[in-house]
């Protein structure tokens, strides 16, 4: 997974997924890994760490794929005031999955500034101990990140995974993260299918001879985001991966960005205190 710098670098590992890889999210078994490299997005909250780990191990055994070709993310569910809690949770997640996480995220910003600071200190500790390769956050807004970085932590988040798509563009957050070297990861790039029939999406799908899903995935990639389209259907996973033979013209990227309507696809906690 080495890119322009090492995977241990706060931002270096993300370049290869953005440029050459599709990252896939699965929430329920069976998990379909179609071809390496793959990114499997898990979480304690999803209750899928065990099934993700099993799918990865089975795939490696069946295909001879090295562990380095599969990227595994999982997340902390309950925020507390003790940094040691993070190490405990990482150990439990690793035991469940049977593999250590490549990326570990604080799942949400709930709890307030002191709790977030404590959980981030815990993340820095597990990174230093080599229990995870990279650390980041999920669903954090600008204020949460400002508060976190004001404490001058040892590491800045490598990633902020959040609801991000043409109908939820979060321009201020994107600009802030880019200014700090924090990579945006879109957890609902397909908008849950809610805008597949939007006229602009349909028109661009026809223009590029691609599906609406492929256009939306390509949009995220062309914005420089990591995208994690969710599917439990093997044929859709394969279809979602067929996005590296085209790019959207800048005018089309801008057109999609202009469709922002602050559409929440699941939950929205980026403004909690």
Residue 14's pLDDT is 30
To 5 degrees, how large is the angle CA 191–CA 77–CA 26?
Answer: 40
Q: How far apart are CA 160 and CA 185, in angstroms?
A: 6
Residue 145's pLDDT is 98
The pLDDT tens digits for 189-210 are 999 999 999 999 999 999 999 9
Stronger pLDDT, 14 or 237, i.e. the higher one: 237
pLDDT-derived band at 15, boundaries 50, 70, 90: very low
User: What mean pLDDT is reported for the chain?
Assistant: 86
Whether the upstream peptide bond of residue 30 has omega within 30° of 0, thus cis, is yes
Residue 25's pLDDT is 35
Stronger pLDDT, 22 or 76, i.e. the higher one: 76
CB 49 within 8 A of CB 93: yes
CB 124 within 8 A of CB 10: no
Whether the upstream peptide bond of residue 37 has omega within 30° of 0, thus cis, is yes
Residue 37's pLDDT is 54
pLDDT at 22 over 80: no
Residue 35's pLDDT is 54
Q: How far apart are CA 256 and CA 195, in angstroms?
A: 11
The pLDDT tens digits for 104-139 are 999 999 999 999 999 999 999 999 999 999 999 999
pLDDT at 151 over 70: yes
Q: How far apart are CA 215 and CA 201, in angstroms?
A: 7
The pLDDT tens digits for 24-66 are 333 333 345 655 557 888 999 888 899 889 888 988 898 888 9
> What is the percentage of the chain residues whose pLDDT exceeds 70?
86
Known binding site: residues? Answer: 107
The pLDDT tens digits for 245-257 are 999 999 999 999 9
pLDDT at 103 over 50: yes
Residue 4's pLDDT is 23
Asked which of 37-51, 87-101, 139-153 is least confident by mean pLDDT, the reply is 37-51
pLDDT-derived band at 19, boundaries 50, 70, 90: very low
Structure-token match 């067929």, residue found: 242
Q: Annotated catalytic residue: which of 46, 176, 208, 219?
A: 46
Q: How far apart are CA 41 and CA 193, in angstroms?
A: 19
> What is the percentage of the chain residues whose pLDDT exceeds 90?
68
Known binding site for substrate: residues? Answer: 107
Domains and CATH numbers, the chain: 12-257 (3.20.20.100)
Instruction: Report the Cα 237 to chain-centroid distance in Å.
Output: 16
Residue 10 tokens read as 């706060």
Residue 34's pLDDT is 59
Q: How far apart are CA 201 and CA 259, in angstroms?
A: 10
Residue 39's pLDDT is 81
Residue 64 tokens read as 């001879």
Residue 130, Cβ density class (10 Å: 0-12 exposed, 13-18 middle, ≥19 buried): exposed
Residue 40's pLDDT is 86
> Is 46 among the catalytic positions?
yes
Residue 127 tokens read as 């990174």
């Amino acid at each position: 997974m080495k890119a322009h710098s090492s995977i241990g670098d706060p931002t270096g590992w993300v370049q290869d997924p953005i440029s050459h890889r599709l990252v896939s999210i699965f929430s329920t078994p069976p998990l379909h890994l179609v071809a390496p490299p793959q990114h499997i997005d898990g979480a304690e909250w999803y209750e899928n760490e065990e099934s993700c780990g099993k799918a990865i191990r089975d795939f490696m055994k069946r295909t001879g794929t090295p562990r380095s070709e599969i990227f595994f993310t999982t997340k902390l569910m309950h925020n507390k005031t003790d940094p040691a809690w993070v190490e405990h949770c990482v150990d439990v997640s690793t035991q469940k999955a049977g593999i250590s996480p490549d990326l570990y995220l604080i799942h949400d910003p709930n709890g307030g500034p002191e709790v977030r600071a404590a959980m981030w200190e815990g993340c820095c500790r597990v990174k230093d101990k080599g229990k995870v390769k990279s650390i980041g956050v999920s669903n954090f807004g600008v204020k949460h990140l400002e508060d976190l970085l004001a404490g001058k932590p040892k590491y800045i988040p490598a990633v902020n995974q959040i609801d991000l798509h043409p109908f939820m563009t979060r321009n201020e957050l994107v600009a802030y993260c880019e200014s700090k070297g924090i990579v945006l990861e879109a957890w609902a790039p397909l908008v849950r299918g809610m805008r597949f029939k939007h006229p602009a999406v349909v028109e661009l799908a026809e223009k590029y001879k691609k599906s609406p899903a492929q256009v939306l995935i390509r949009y995220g990639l062309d914005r420089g985001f990591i995208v994690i389209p969710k599917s439990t259907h093997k044929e859709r996973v394969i279809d979602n991966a067929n996005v590296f033979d085209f790019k959207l013209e800048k005018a089309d990227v801008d057109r999609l960005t202009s469709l922002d309507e602050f559409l929440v696809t699941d939950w929205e906690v980026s403004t909690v205190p």
